[in-house]
Amino acid sequence: MNDDQLLRYSRHILLDEVGIEGQQAMLDARALIIGAGGLGSPAALYLAASGVGHITLVDDDTVDLTNLQRQIAHTTARVGLPKVESAAQALQALNPDVQVQCIQQHADAALLDELVSQASVVLDCCDNYRTRQTVNAACVKHRVPLVAGAIIRFDGQITVFDPRKDTSPCYACLFATEEEFEEVQCSTMGVLAPLVGVIGAMQAAEALKIITGIGDPLVGKLLMLDGKSMEWSRMRTSRNPECSVCCNNK
């Protein structure tokens, strides 16, 4: 680290659990973020601010006026731009040292197979059930930790899947690949804007814990937020020994 970096990240370095080594781990890390919208915006901003050295953004959508109520990486002036380009501008304005890779396309299996293999950690910030399953399968295959967040209306949830751990469930252990779910989206159901920030920021925090080896990530634990009462509930999750994804990958 140079003198400017030592000053920029001094509040991290002051933490005994982080220090120089932890901050260097962030600088060396590669985060892959699927979705540059409501969850991806705060997650990416906090990872960039924290000094994660390389951030890859994957999203095939463009910025719409209706996004600006909650997708804080975008601005009115950037309506119509690809979300990945808009978010990249925000990240590099915040921290020009961060390398940002923009991929404006759907996160299909072939793309994820390539990108996940290069990542230190993956953040699932998308709003599509099939994409979540595809992201999960790639993370299991390449044994890369996955931080999964979701939110709709006043309800949010977050958990971590870590294929490096034999006891960790994967996304398919909780939501079977063969199940059919009706897609519920903000465009029809609505969402309270700050709650998206809460979950997205927590995804960034969990990613940093994984990168630095600090604390106890949310592996085997699903946190659920009721935004109306602002109460959290926690559910233990476990590996499904008959899971078609993680148990067949061994």
Structural contact between residues 240 and 247, judged by C-beta atoms closer than 8 angstroms: yes
- Rounded distance between C-alpha atoms, residue 93 and residue 237, angstroms: 39
Q: Does residue 31 belong to any structural domain of this protein?
A: yes
Residue of 186, 243, 246, 247 with catalytic role: 186
Instruction: Read off the CATH number of the domain in which 148 is found.
Output: 3.40.50.720
Q: Does residue 119 belong to any structural domain of this protein?
A: yes
Domain that holds residue 80: 3-236
What is the domain count for the chain?
1
Q: What is the pLDDT of residues 143-180, one digit of tens each?
A: 999 999 999 999 999 999 999 999 999 999 998 887 66
The answer on pLDDT for 182 being more than 60 is: no
pTM strictly above 0.85: yes
The answer on pLDDT for 181 being more than 60 is: no
DSSP state of 20: H
Q: Does residue 245 belong to any structural domain of this protein?
A: no
- Rounded distance between C-alpha atoms, residue 204 and residue 225, angstroms: 17
Range 10-13, long-range pairs (CB < 8 A, 24+ positions): 12/50, 12/51
Residue 173 is a catalytic residue: no
The owner of tokens 């003198």 is 3
Q: Does residue 87 belong to any structural domain of this protein?
A: yes
Q: Does residue 73 belong to any structural domain of this protein?
A: yes
Ramachandran class of 191: left when φ > 0, alpha when ψ lies in -120 to 50, beta otherwise = beta
- Rounded distance between C-alpha atoms, residue 177 and residue 70, angstroms: 30
- SS3 state at 76: helix
Structural contact between residues 211 and 121, judged by C-beta atoms closer than 8 angstroms: yes
Residue of 20, 19, 47, 42 lying closest to 31 (CA atoms): 47
Residue of 58, 43, 38 lying closest to 102 (CA atoms): 58
Q: What is the pLDDT of residues 44-99, one digit of tens each?
A: 999 999 999 999 999 999 999 999 999 999 999 999 999 999 999 999 999 999 99
State both tokens at 97.
Answer: 């040292």
The answer on pLDDT for 183 being more than 70 is: no
Q: Does residue 156 belong to any structural domain of this protein?
A: yes
Give the distance from CA 75 to its chain's centroid. 21
Residue ranges in the chain assigned as alpha helix (H) = 3-8, 10-13, 19-28, 40-50, 83-94, 109-116, 129-142, 171-174, 186-189, 193-212
Classify the C-alpha dihedral 115-121-125-130 as positive or negative. positive
Q: Does residue 248 belong to any structural domain of this protein?
A: no
Q: What is the pLDDT of residues 3-47, one digit of tens each?
A: 999 999 999 999 999 999 999 999 999 999 999 999 999 999 999
The answer on pLDDT for 186 being more than 70 is: no
End-to-end, the C-alpha distance of the chain in Å comes to 39
Amino acid at 138: A
DSSP state of 96: T
Q: Does residue 241 belong to any structural domain of this protein?
A: no
Structural contact between residues 210 and 121, judged by C-beta atoms closer than 8 angstroms: yes
Structural contact between residues 200 and 39, judged by C-beta atoms closer than 8 angstroms: yes
